[in-house]
Amino acid sequence: MDLKLLKQHAPCAWEIPAQGKMRVPALIYASEELVRAMDHKVWEQAVNVVMLPGIVGASYVMPDAHWGYGFPIGGVAAFDADAGGVVSAGGVGFDVSCGVRCLHTGLRREHILAVQNKLADTLFERIPAGVGSTGAIRLGSTQMDAMLSGGAKWAVGRGWGTSADLERVEEHGQMLHAKPKFVSEQAKKRQREEMGTLGSGNHYLEVQEVTAVYDEAIATAYGLALGDVVLMIHCGSRGLGHQIGTEFLRRMVVAAPSHGLVLPDRELACAPLHSDLGQEYLGAMRAAINCALANRQILTQLVRDVFADLLPSARLPVLYDVSHNTCKLETHKVDGHQRELYVHRKGATRAWGPGHPELPQALRASGQPVLIGGSMGTGSYVLAGTTASESLAFSSACHGAGRAMSRNQALRTWDGRTVVDDLARRGILVRSPSMRGVAEEAPDAYKDVRAVVDAADAAGLARKVARLEPLVCVKG
C-alpha cells in the first residue's frame, strides 16, 4: 500500500481522510511494515465501505488485513439503523461465525510427548476434517431448526459438554433472535451431516504449549502459566454459513436499486437494516452463528473423549470461545452518547475491555480473552481486550496472522508433504486428509503473526498475554 495515501497518527495508526463520496474516514491499525505489505485492494475496500449509508465513526482495518469479498478481511464497520444504516453480507463473510475456542488441559509438555504420535493419530481419526467431511450426527428438520435456534446451549442439552462451558462462550452459547425459517432448505441440507466437523481451508485443531507469558496478572486470571498445554479449535458454520452468504448477497444485489442504494462495489451488496430483506438476513446470519457455536461445542466433547482415552488425568474446561465474521447489535459510546449499532466484524474479533458486563465474572477484571490463531506451525497468541479499544474500533481486534499470498500462489511455492516433514523435524506433528490443503496453508503463506500481535498491542486494540507453540495439529 502506498503510504502517501495515508495520514499517520501514531506508529500503528493510519488514516485515509474522508474525501469524495466517503462519509467518514477509514483507519488502519498496523505497523508501517504491515501497511506497506498490504495489497492496494485493502485501501480500495476500506474506502468503499465508508460510502455505505448510516456508517458511524469510520471503517477500521486490523493489522492482519488482506483483501476479501467486499470488506477487507480484518475489516470492522458499525451502522446505525435509525440513520439509514445497512447490513452487508459481504461485511460478515461466507464462513459466518468462524471462530476459535481454547481449552485448558491441565497437562504439561512431557505428558503430550509421551503419547504425541498416538494423540495425533487418534484426534485425526475421530475429528472429521477436510472438504466435504461429515460426522456421525444426522439432523432431521426439527433438530436442525432447534440447533439453529439454540447454538451451543442446544448441543449441551444433547450431551455435548456441560453448562459450565457456556459461561465462557460469547452470547453464553446462544445467539438470540435467530430465525431458522429464513435459512434455505439448501443451506440446511448442506449442514445436515456436517455437525462436529472441522472442515477445510484454514480450519484446524491444535494442541499447544504456553511458551511465553507477557502479562503475568492477566495470564493468571486466565489460568495460563508457562509450560501449560492448551488446545485450540478453529472452525465455523461450514456449508450452511457459506450458502446463506451466497444466497443473500445475490438477493441484496438485485434489491439494491429498490432501496435507493448505489453500491460502490457489487461485492458490497447490502440492505437497509429496517427493511424486510435486512431483517431476514440478520435472522439467518444469527442462525448460522448458532450453527458455528454448536459445532465448536460438539467438537469440544469429541476432543474430551479422545483425551479421556489417552490422557485420563486431563481436564478440558473452556478458557474462552470467540467468533469472527459476525454482525452484532451492540451499545457503544459515540461522541459522548450511547448508541445502538450493528457492528460488522469480518476477520476480526470482539475485544471487550475490563469491566464489561457481558464478560464472565472470573474474567471481568482482566478483559476479554482474544484468541489469535497463527499460521500452521508458527504459534498462536492469547491477548486481552482493552478499555482503549472501545474508542479505537468499537472494541475490536485482529483475528489471526492474515494471508500474505493467495492459495494458488502457495500451491506453486510449496509441496504439502515437504511442509509436513519439515514441521515434524521441529517436533510439530501434522495430520491432514489433503496435502494440497497443507500446501495452501504453509506457514509462510501468512503474515508474521508476531508482527500482527505486536501491532495490535501497540495500537491499544488488545494487550499481549501469552504465546502458544503447536505440538500437534489436525488440519482440514
- Report the catalytic residues: 399
* CB-CB neighbours of 424 under 10 Å: 12
Q: How far apart are CA 92 and CA 336, in angstroms?
A: 27
Record the cell numbers describing residue 64, joined without a space.
Answer: 492482519
Type of residue found at 257:
P
**207 contacts 119 by C-beta, under 8 angstroms:** yes
Q: Residue-wise over 91-126: b if at least 16 C-beta within 10 A, else e?
A: bbbbbbbbbbbbbbbbbebebbeeebeebbebbbeb
**What is the separation, in whole angstroms, between the first and last Cα of the chain?**
32
- Other residues' Cβ atoms within 10 Å of the Cβ of residue 134: 13
Alpha-carbon distance of 345 to 16, in angstroms, equals 19
* Nearest-angstrom CA–CA distance, 191 and 194: 5
Residues facing residue 467 across a β-bridge: 212, 381
Residues 290 and 175 sit within 8 Å (Cβ to Cβ): yes
For residue 338 the three cell numbers come to: 450511547
110: three-class secondary structure by DSSP: helix
Of 21, 2, 3, 38, whose CA–CA distance to 398 is shortest? Answer: 38
Residues linked to residue 429 through DSSP beta bridges, in sequence order: 472
* Cα angle: 206, vertex 236, 402; to 5 degrees: 65
* Contacts for 411 with CB less than 8 Å, ≥ 6 apart: 436, 439, 440
Tell me how far apart the alpha carbons of residues 435 and 445 are, in angstroms, rounded to a whole number.
Answer: 15
- Please enumerate in sequence order all residues whose Cβ is within 8 A of that of 368, keeping only pairs 6 or more positions apart, or say none: 320, 322, 350, 351, 352, 353, 356, 359, 384, 385
Rounded to 5°, the CA angle 282-269-22 comes to 110
Residues 6+ apart with CB under 8 A from 354: 364, 365, 366, 367, 385, 386, 387
Tell me the C-alpha distance between 354 and 386, whole Å. Answer: 6
